[in-house]
Structure 1
Amino acid sequence: MGKITGNEPKAEELVNKMNSEINQVIEQTPDEQEMPTYAILTVMGDTAYVEQSSTIAIDIADQLKLRNATVSIDSEAFARIYPV
């Protein structure tokens, strides 16, 4: 975006600031033994599924060293077992 708007130095400054703030939060996360467990359930129409990989929410949770409780569940099976 900095290139497009002609503001590359400002864009780089903002990205560096954002990355610094993200790293400050990540540094405060508990060690591996104390990792909280989570599950992200998405409901769309009449289908529910668990998010397990390749989403922004999962990426954020991974960066925060959270433990996904649903990794071993087949999301298609989950949607069939627990219809909305």
Structure 2
Amino acid sequence: MPITRELENIEVLEAVNFNHEQAKTLAKIIECSHADSHESLKEFIRAENKSLVETMRSEFKQEITGLRSEFKQEITGLQSE
């Protein structure tokens, strides 16, 4: 189901003196342009989300590695006492 309303666009264009074929063609161009921009936005959001996930994984990995090192030092210290 299209996001914009192609038939309503045709009616509006016909109301301002476009003939039916002109209105139909222009409405189709508007609809395709809208759909293309929607897909581009989805692709942009996917790329941003992927980048964010990769950043978070890297940060979590660093934090976990640091915590493991701290725990290992604590355990080693307790064992030597």
TM over 0.5: no
Higher relative contact order by CA 8 Å / sep ≥ 6: 1 or 2? 1
The structure with the greater share of residues assigned to helix is 2
TM-score, length basis structure 2:
0.32
TM-score, length basis structure 1:
0.31
Give the structure with higher Rg (CA). Answer: 2
